[in-house]
Amino acid sequence: METIMAIVIGILFSIGTYLILSNQMLRIILGLSLISHAINLMIMVMGGLKTGGPPLLSESFQSFTDAIPQALILTAIVINFAVTAFLLVLSYRTYKKHGTDDMNQLRGNEHE
Amino acid sequence: MSFMHFIILLPFIAAIFIPFVYKKWNIHLHTGWFVIIVPLFIFINLLFQIPAISNGDTIFLSMKWIPSLGINFDIYLDGLALMFALIISGIGTLVVLYSIFYMAKEREALHNFYVYLLMFMGAMLGLVSSDNVLVLYTLWELTSVSSFLLIAYWYERKKSRSGALKSMIITVFGGLAMLAGLIMLAMITDTYSIREMIASVNLIIESPLFIPAMVLVLLGAFTKSAQFPFSIWLPDAMEAPTPVSAYLHSATMVKAGLYLLARMTPIFGGSAAWFWLVGGVGIITIFYGSIRAVRQTDLKALLAYSTISQLGLIMSLLGVGSAALYFNIGNAQEVYAVAIFAALFHLFNHSTFKGALFMVVGIIDHETGTRDIRRLGGLLTIMPVTFTIALIGSLSMAGLPPFNGFLSKEMFFTGMLHASEVNIFGLDGWTILFPIIAWIASVFTFIYCMILLLKPFLGKLQPEKLPKDNVHEAPFGMLVPPVILGSLVVLVFFFPNLLAEYILKPALVSVIPTVSTGNEVFEIHAWHGFDSIELWMTIGVIFFGLLLFFSIKKWNIAFRFFPDKLSLNNLYNATIENMEKQSASFTDRYMTGNIRHYLLYIFIFITVIMIGSLISFDAISFNFSSTGEISIYDIGILVVMVAAAMTTLLTKNRITAIVSLGAVGYLMVMLFVIFRAPDLALTQMVVETVTTVLFLLCFYHLPKLGKRLEKMKFKVTNLIISIGVGLTVTIMTLIASGHRLHVPITNFFENAYELAGAKNIVNAILVDFRGFDTMLEISVLLIAGVGVFTLIKLRPKGSENDEA
């Protein structure tokens, strides 16, 4: 399972990177979302997959999957959401202000 | 920390309180009255050390600073250090007193001024008394920094700022070179202590690093002491307030280089390279400085060039005197040691007469509003006291009796005459140049001393040319410091051997440890008889000096043939300008302002560093034994997920891209379910829904995808980089999941119920064990929310109305 997951994570990362390297703002945001998904999966794999029951204390399971990656990912999901939302609004404002979403033209001026 | 440490660090301690004192009492009393206590207290305490030090004792006190690195603030007070410390605190007291009347308490930012001044004083005192080379270096740079701050004290003026910058660049460049040299010495001898370095001098001489270390240390000393060709910063430093010029740029800081040379003479002295470098640069500097000084029309610029020249004089004496270390002991040694003795003597004398002269120029500037000698004249009757001090100072500098400059000038000639007989360092015959250049430079010194003395005071007063009306003598307090210095100039002439006995000879022993100070060559006499060459050299200087002074208009034209383009200043300016241009064009080449380029750098570096370190540590080994078994559903989910991601990539439709990204997100939910993570699944579900809605809200306002043509090269580069990144991530994931070095700590959290009263372990971690992390995470959310709100709602005033 880990091996397959590693490959999938790699593919997601590749696609995300390709999107980020493009010149369009929307694509960059899409790429960022994909990369964050891939990272979440990667953290998950680090803790070992399917090693026990869900980390809820009850009678039915004796062992649990590692809870720490899950706690980390939970935080990451929320932060990702915040960043994505902010980027979206930022790109919306940038487009309104400058009339373009081409990163080539959004270079700032000489004396910044 | 001993009492001596307290004394040395006192200026720093006092500097902390100055701003408060300034704020509370400055309206009633000039802050300088509080500051003056510090150098006075230090000076008096140092005076009590004289008997012990002149008996040949030394004081060594250690204080731990960074013991793990062998850096201790060790105070080593011997004759040389004491002499400098006395000059620093003594002149410091007088300068502070002078500044009280020079700097108006109503107009000037005195708290800044005195904090910088005290900072400098502390750094300088520490510099001369420290035994540890790293402490010495630190304080060395601190003197450069405080000099920078003081030159730029009137920072509204462009000239002040550029002068400060120039001095900073040159002296810090030299300081860094010196650091490298000192570290080399420390590597050779395995110690940071100067005394221990001197003890293991044989190691240093045999080392191949001997010459590099020497050259680097000399660079530090030459830049600091404004030796040719690094001298260009000193005239520009004259933009500082005059008390600062008198203190830093003539009496103390520029002598730090001389101190370093004197301190290092036992290590490097006695070698041909040292003799020629120090002596040669010194003699060139005397010549250069004295000739340039004659041309100046600004009194302070004249004094600056004269300082350069006088520093060169001391420098050349130190170089020539180092020959003494070639001889182990005996008469031959003393013959050359006289030069060192003369250097120390002149160093002291220079501090007195040049300090007085700077104060005189400050008075003229303060009372008339100008320092331009073309406008000044006839001040003799208005300022008789100032004239008297100027007379004493400039005649002493010109080398006339009955002033202390005469004595040290004669000894200077003696030293140079001895130098012409040196035949132990190769280049025999060239040494005859020493006395010749020295004599010519002395003639020019005489001329500029006459200019300094006669032009402002004699001639006709031209009140219409002066910016200030009603010119009168300076206030009493302003005259006290130069009068004290002037009387020292005279006193030293009549009782030179008193000074020699208590101050100079102990200092000489620090430079040349084996010298026997009882020798009669170290008796200072004003009269050597008619058959002494020195006397005739002095008479020649006066004769030709007067002759050239009165014919100055006839030969002054000769300077016009020297093109300005070739001056050192132009070279400096061109170099700086070129370097700025070069570095800007270099930086612009990779800092393009295009985010894609920056991202490319990041991704390339991640790939190269990760893969590179894996290969170099030979860490690529896979372990495919996995814990989770694979079911057909898992495969199905993953395949769909990859397909959805590919759709996001390939589609040209915005809606399709957003929806397929949403699909990836919802498949993540399913994966979380499979991987036994119910909390994650729930959260992901909510977040994904909201995100997709957000995307859909925004996409309406954003332009369509994929409409523009992208070049093939662009696409291929992106493809290669992204595949590289993907591969790297896959490899990293495989290696990391296959190798577990530590036992997981999750077992601790499985006691969540006992520890936190929660049955959901993930929740317990978030809200209990790592509660603060979660709080900060929520703050991030809040900040992002505020950011979103601001971006949408707020419009800066005056921006065009671009509501959608």
Question: Nearest residue of A to residue B632 by CA position?
Answer: A1
Nearest-neighbour CA in chain B from A24: distance (Å): 8
Average pLDDT value for residue range B528-548: 83
* pTM more than 0.95: no
**Bigger pLDDT: A51 vs A74:** A74
Lowest mean pLDDT among B172-186, B350-364, B521-535: B521-535
Contact B744, A47 (CB under 8 A): yes
Average pLDDT value for residue range B719-723: 91
pLDDT over 50 (residue B571): yes
Average pLDDT value for residue range B124-143: 92
pLDDT bin (cut points 50, 70, 90) of residue A110 is low
Average pLDDT value for residue range B725-751: 84
In 3D space, the residue among B192, B185, B191 whose CA is nearest the CA of residue B213 turns out to be B185
Q: What was the pLDDT predicted at B797?
A: 62
Q: What was the pLDDT predicted at B57?
A: 84
Q: What was the pLDDT predicted at B685?
A: 94
Q: What was the pLDDT predicted at B311?
A: 92
pLDDT over 60 (residue B800): no
Nearest-neighbour CA in chain B from A4: distance (Å): 9
Chain B residues whose CB is inside 8 A of the A24 CB are 705
Q: What was the pLDDT predicted at B652?
A: 82
Average pLDDT value for residue range B196-218: 89
Q: What was the pLDDT predicted at B514?
A: 78
Task: List beta partners, residue B72.
Answer: B64
Query: Quick one: what percent of chain B has pLDDT higher than 90?
Result: 28
pLDDT digits (tens, 9 = 90+) for B511-520: 888 777 777 7
Average pLDDT value for residue range A4-29: 90
Q: What was the pLDDT predicted at B523?
A: 79
Lowest mean pLDDT among A22-26, B154-158, B167-171, B424-428: B424-428
Q: What are phi and psi of A53, to 5 degrees?
A: -75, 170
Question: Nearest residue of B to residue A33 by CA position?
Answer: B661
Distance CA B436, CA B504 (A): 27
pLDDT over 70 (residue A68): yes
CATH of A2-50+65-98, one of 1.10.10, 1.10.3470, 1.20.1280, 1.10.287: 1.10.287
Chain B residues whose CB is inside 8 A of the A62 CB are none
Q: What was the pLDDT predicted at A112?
A: 46
- If contacts are CB pairs under 8 Å, which of residues 33-52 in chain A contact chain B? 33-34, 37-38, 40-42, 44-52
Nearest-neighbour CA in chain A from B773: distance (Å): 9
pLDDT digits (tens, 9 = 90+) for B299-328: 888 999 999 999 999 999 998 888 888 776
Nearest-neighbour CA in chain A from B374: distance (Å): 44
Mean pLDDT, chain B, rounded, equals 86
How do B59-61 and B75-77 pair as beta strands?
antiparallel
Query: Quick one: what percent of chain A has pLDDT higher than 90?
Result: 39
Q: Which residue has the tokens 């001098």?
A: B201
Average pLDDT value for residue range B545-570: 74
Chain B residues whose CB is inside 8 A of the A17 CB are 603, 718, 721-722, 725-726
pLDDT bin (cut points 50, 70, 90) of residue B698 is confident
Average pLDDT value for residue range A28-34: 92
pLDDT digits (tens, 9 = 90+) for B756-791: 888 888 888 888 888 998 999 999 999 999 998 888
Q: Do B638 and A44 touch (CB under 8 A)?
A: no
Q: What is the dihedral of CA B40, B45, B48, B50, to 10 degrees?
A: -80
Inter-chain CB pairs, A–B, below 8 Å: 277
Q: What was the pLDDT predicted at B747?
A: 79
Chain B residues whose CB is inside 8 A of the A52 CB are 676
Q: Is the CB of residue A61 less than 8 Å away from at least one CB of chain B?
A: no
Chain A residues whose CB is inside 8 A of the B745 CB are 68
The partner residue sitting opposite B746, judged by closest CB among A67, A79, A82, is: A67
Q: What was the pLDDT predicted at B365?
A: 87
Average pLDDT value for residue range B750-754: 82
Buried b / exposed e along B502-519 (16+ C-beta atoms within 10 A): bbbbbbbbbbbeebebeb
Q: Do A41 and B668 touch (CB under 8 A)?
A: yes
Distance CA B248, CA B705 (A): 67
B290-297, long-range: CB < 8 A, 24+ apart: B290/B441, B290/B442, B290/B444, B290/B445, B290/B448, B291/B441, B291/B444, B293/B444, B293/B445, B293/B448, B294/B444, B294/B447, B294/B448, B294/B451, B294/B552, B294/B556, B295/B556, B295/B559, B296/B448, B297/B372, B297/B373, B297/B374
pLDDT bin (cut points 50, 70, 90) of residue B127 is very high
Chain B residues whose CB is inside 8 A of the A94 CB are none
pLDDT over 60 (residue B251): yes
Tokens of B252: 């103390």
Contact B431, B422 (CB under 8 A): yes
Q: What was the pLDDT predicted at B330?
A: 61
Report domain extents, chain A. 2-50+65-98
Chain A residues whose CB is inside 8 A of the B684 CB are 77
pLDDT bin (cut points 50, 70, 90) of residue B155 is confident
Average pLDDT value for residue range B577-605: 88
Distance CA B630, CA A5 (A): 10
Q: Do A107 and B594 touch (CB under 8 A)?
A: yes
Contact B296, B238 (CB under 8 A): no
Q: Do A24 and B677 touch (CB under 8 A)?
A: no
pLDDT bin (cut points 50, 70, 90) of residue B560 is low
* Helix and strand totals (H; E) in chain A: 3, 0
In 3D space, the residue among B698, B648, B612, B150 whose CA is nearest the CA of residue A22 turns out to be B648
Q: Do A46 and B718 touch (CB under 8 A)?
A: no
Q: What was the pLDDT predicted at B306?
A: 92
